[in-house]
């Protein structure tokens, strides 16, 4: 495929491969524009059912024009295969982003990401399209922080009569970790199934882990999705606000009637939470945290990490200045206090700053102990 000509585009390199096909990077012959070309494997392209599904993806994407959804530029077929020519986005998948990060996103960044996602799916739902396979691997974060939704390959278009029942009983399509209870059971699903999947993705942003990561079989996952509420996110990340936990629980309610009924409603709940706390996030938060696909992406760590680092630094200085009792006493108290506060706020979150907090507590304690001995010795002379 490399150097192959498709319409006005020349294939340059491979971007990624999957079980059904390969995604290539291509460039326009006349204009300085790069695109992503999704090609079904030739042996699969001969399958009539797969051709229908691929045609469905093209038809679905053509209906969606939104800044947070990857755009379809063209569709092409020949004897060798089927091709979608799409917008090329330089960035990283949300799944990789979270894995490289190693700790949860703070609530400002999470809110900014979720608002973009919910705007994208609100547009899709308004067009009568339900995705049915929402997951972090299908969400791209561009280098400027813009969210882009991928892969409407198994999406369904609601019929003209407004019937939102999109699958036949017994049909199960989607990635199991993010499926709604009705999807797992093979029941008819509608846009509220997407809302459930967005809720599970929301959970993963707030905790840096999938709620079912420790399940050993698909049966275990199915059982938990149908019968059990998602694990308490505070058990993983204690800093999550009660308001966000409440929003998460509503989005992932087992009964579709108890969930948010639209993405707009979901979005409004997040906006209301931000206004109530006086911490309304803005897109500049994301702009300052550029995504680098070649290295670990940087986003805001929990705010207490600064206290942990301060505890360590003050502890070291205090320990060095052990022979200056009064100055040392102040440094020791600050080091101990900052360490306690930093460790409390970082409890349950795996970051190197938790080690700094502990070191600050230890050094602060030693400094205070030495200072008290010095003061006692000084007083005993009088």
Task: Check pLDDT > 80 for residue 88.
Answer: yes
Q: How confident is the model at residue 85, as a pLDDT?
A: 93
Measured between alpha carbons, how far is residue 134 from residues 69, 117, 174, 198, 289 in Å?
Answer: 13, 10, 8, 7, 24
* 133 in active site: yes
Instruction: For 5-45, write each residue's pLDDT tens digit.
Output: 989 999 999 998 877 789 999 999 998 899 999 998 888 88
pLDDT level of residue 285 (50, 70, 90 thresholds)? very low
**In the predicted model, is pLDDT for residue 128 greater than 60?**
yes
5-87 homologous superfamily: Phosphorylase Kinase; domain 1 (3.30.200.20)
Least confident of 58-67, 235-244, 368-377: 368-377
CATH class for domain 91-287?
A: mainly alpha
Weakest-pLDDT range from 135-144, 243-252, 255-264, 268-277:
268-277
Tens digits of residue pLDDT in 35-74: 999 998 888 888 888 888 888 888 888 889 999 999 999 9
Q: Tell me the C-alpha to C-alpha distance, in Å, between residue 15 and each of 2, 18, 21, 282.
A: 12, 11, 11, 31
In this predicted structure, what is the pLDDT of residue 53? 80
Task: Point out the catalytic residue in the list 74, 126, 133, 220.
Answer: 133
Domain ranges of the chain: 5-87, 91-287, 305-380
For the chain, give the mean pLDDT: 79
CA distance 237 to 44: 44
CA 247, CA 268: separation in Å to the nearest integer? 10
pLDDT tens-digit series, residues 322-333: 555 555 666 666
The pLDDT of residue 134: 93
Segment 155-191, tens digit of pLDDT: 665 443 333 333 333 344 457 899 999 999 999 899 9
Mean pLDDT of 106-132: 94
The stretch 333-356 carries a mean pLDDT of: 55
| Confidence band of 298 (pLDDT split at 50, 70, 90) | very low
Mean pLDDT to the nearest integer, 108-130: 95
What is the predicted pLDDT for the residue at 280? 47
Report d(CA 12, CA 179) in Å as an integer.
36
Least confident range from 14-18, 210-214, 260-264, 367-371: namely 367-371
Range ranked top by mean pLDDT from 52-61, 83-92, 337-346: 83-92
Q: Is 275 within 8 Å of 306 (Cβ atoms)?
A: no
pLDDT confidence band for 297 (50 / 70 / 90): very low
Q: What distance in Å separates the CA atoms of residue 194 and residue 189, rounded to the nearest whole number? A: 9
Q: What is the pLDDT of residue 348?
A: 44
pLDDT of residue 290: 45
| 34-48, 132-146, 191-205, 301-315: the lowest-pLDDT one | 301-315
Beta-sheet pairing, 34-40 with 82-87: antiparallel
Residue 94 scores a pLDDT above 70: yes
Write down the residue that tokens 């694990």 correspond to.
Answer: 231
3-state secondary structure of 253: coil
Nearest to residue 132, comparing CAs of 53, 39, 204? 53
Torsion from C-alpha of 78, 81, 85, 86, nearest 10 degrees = 160
Half-sphere exposure for 17 (CA within 13 Å, toward CB): 4
């Amino acid at each position: 495929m490399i150097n192959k000509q498709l319409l006005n585009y020349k294939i340059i390199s491979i971007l990624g491969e999957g079980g059904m096909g390969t995604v290539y990077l291509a460039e326009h012959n006349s204009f300085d524009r790069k695109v992503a070309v999704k090609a079904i494997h030739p042996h699969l392209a001969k399958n009539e059912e797969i051709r229908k599904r691929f045609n469905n993806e093209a038809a679905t994407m053509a209906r969606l024009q939104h800044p947070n959804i990857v755009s379809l530029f063209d569709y092409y077929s020949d004897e060798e295969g089927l091709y979608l020519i799409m917008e090329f986005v330089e960035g990283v998948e949300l799944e990789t982003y979270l894995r490289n990060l190693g700790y949860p996103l703070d609530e400002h960044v999470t809110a900014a990401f979720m608002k973009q996602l919910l705007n994208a799916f609100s547009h899709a739902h308004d067009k009568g399209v339900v995705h049915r396979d929402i997951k972090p691997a299908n969400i791209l974060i561009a280098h400027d922080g813009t969210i882009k939704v991928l892969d409407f390959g198994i999406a369904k278009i609601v019929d003209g009569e407004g019937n939102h029942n999109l699958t036949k009983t017994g049909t199960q399509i989607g990635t199991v970790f993010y499926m709604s209870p009705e999807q797992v059971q093979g029941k008819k699903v509608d846009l509220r199934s997407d809302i459930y999947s967005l809720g599970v993705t929301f959970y993963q942003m707030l905790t840096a882990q999938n709620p079912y990561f420790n399940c050993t079989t698909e049966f275990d996952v199915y059982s938990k999705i149908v019968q059990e509420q998602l694990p308490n996110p505070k058990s993983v990340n204690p800093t999550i606000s009660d308001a966000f936990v409440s929003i998460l629980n509503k989005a992932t309610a087992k009964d579709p009637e108890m969930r948010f009924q639209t993405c707009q409603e979901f979005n409004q709940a997040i906006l209301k939470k931000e206004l109530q706390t006086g911490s309304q996030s803005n897109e500049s938060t994301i702009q300052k945290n550029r995504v680098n696909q070649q290295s670990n992406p940087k986003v805001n760590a929990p705010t207490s990490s600064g206290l942990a680092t301060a505890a360590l630094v003050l502890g070291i200085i205090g320990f060095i200045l052990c022979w200056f009792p009064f100055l040392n006493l102040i440094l020791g108290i600050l080091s101990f206090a900052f360490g306690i506060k930093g460790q409390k706020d970082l409890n349950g979150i795996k970051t190197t700053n938790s080690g700094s907090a502990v070191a600050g507590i230890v050094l602060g304690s030693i400094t205070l102990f030495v200072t008290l001995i010095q003061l006692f010795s000084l007083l005993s002379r009088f």
